[in-house]
Amino acid sequence: MKIFYSETHRRHNPPFEIFDGGLRVPYLENPDRMDRILAALHRVGWTEIYEPSDFGLDPILAVHDREYLDFLASAWTEWLASAPQDPSTLIPATFALRRQPRKPASLLGRAGYYIMDLSACIVEGTYPAALASANCALNAAQAVTEGERSAFALCRPPGHHAGRDYAGGYCFINNAAVAADWLSAKGRVAILDVDYHAGNGTQGIFYERGDVLTISIHADPNFEYPHFIGFAEERGKGQGLGFHHNFPLSAGTGDAEYLHMLDSALAVIREFAPAFLVISAGMDIYADDPLGTIKVSTQGIGEIGRRIASLGLPSVIVMEGGYANEALGRNILAFLSNFNS
């Protein structure tokens, strides 16, 4: 299996994030996550790791707003030039209510306009890391168009919470959406998001499109981040009506219940009959993940991979969340091994 990975991710390493209630904690979405996965991939004989080539900005601008990308590119330089009291990371304290969508001129005003929450921390290397992450997904997409049955984009930072013009949930560029949009010029595409959290960014990007089917299986937003999106009644709009599906799960959902919901999602994909499948592979559904309440085992993750692989579709697997670092390598191997067999 071809794996696309860039060391550039290490340049995005915020010193902290802020949890609910104001607790400052070490940044959970950290480079150690990639080191654990790489160590596991090096232990097996069926992976080949490639440095991604640069596709340029055009495929990213196809799904993201140019002014938003300009903000990501310049935010760090502007932040240092503002002589902040704590220059270690840019985190705004005020966030825009998008019902009042006027964009302010100040850096902190724009940061609150373009950033959804306190986990999308910006440091000097954030933008180049996000670009490299998107290129990993684009290279994996290209690989499946050239005959690979599947390819894995080992993306960091992750992407599925990033919307057309906002960052959030550790995500800055929506890697899966960029890959899916690029593939959509070659045939119909389905995106299946199995991360613990709802793929709000992906949903918003494709919500009015009928050529890309989007499905997200996730913890119910009534109690879990991102809270304001990911409900079952959200089915798309306009040309996209009926081409988006959310499958919310209760806290404590285990292997059997998750697999039952997955089977319903896979039936929707079979009916859509896409030419390509993009999988947002979040391993935070694992039972011991510090950010999750779903209790899927490593064996369950393997079975999820097996059932998705049984669709027989050219598949781009894009790394999303997963913060139980000690288990991350074996969980991703359990998932990927089904696409290599």
Q: What CATH number did the domain enclosing 318 receive?
A: 3.40.800.20
Domain that holds residue 17: 2-55+124-340
Task: Report yes or no on 233 lying in a domain.
Answer: yes
pLDDT (tens, 9 = 90+) of the chain, 341 residues, equals 999 999 999 999 999 999 988 899 999 999 999 999 999 999 999 999 999 999 999 999 999 999 999 999 999 999 999 999 999 999 998 898 876 667 888 898 899 999 999 999 999 999 999 999 999 999 999 999 999 999 999 999 999 999 999 999 999 999 999 999 999 999 999 999 999 999 999 999 999 999 999 999 999 999 999 999 999 999 999 999 999 999 999 999 999 999 999 999 999 999 999 999 999 999 999 999 999 999 999 999 999 999 999 999 999 999 999 999 999 999 999 999 999 86
Count up the domains in the chain and report the number.
1
Q: Which of 101, 94, 4 is nearest to 48 (CA)?
A: 4
Task: Report yes or no on 85 lying in a domain.
Answer: no
Task: Report yes or no on 278 lying in a domain.
Answer: yes
Task: Report yes or no on 168 lying in a domain.
Answer: yes
Task: Report yes or no on 83 lying in a domain.
Answer: no
Residue whose entry in the numeric block shows the structure tokens 């045939």:
187
Q: Please give the order of strands across the beta sheet that includes 150-153.
A: 48-50, 2-4, 150-153, 315-319, 276-281, 189-193, 212-219, 244-249
Of 161, 197, 244, 245, the active-site residue reads 161
**Residues recorded for the chain:** 341
Task: Report yes or no on 332 lying in a domain.
Answer: yes
Task: Report yes or no on 105 lying in a domain.
Answer: no
The angle at the Cα of 206, spanning 94 to 253, to the nearest 5 degrees, equals: 80
Residue pair 129/167 in contact by the 8 Å Cβ criterion = no
161 classed as catalytic: yes
The angle at the Cα of 278, spanning 199 to 258, to the nearest 5 degrees, equals: 60
Q: Cα(302)–Cα(316) distance, rounded to whole angstroms?
A: 17
Task: Report yes or no on 222 lying in a domain.
Answer: yes
Q: Cα(169)–Cα(154) distance, rounded to whole angstroms?
A: 17
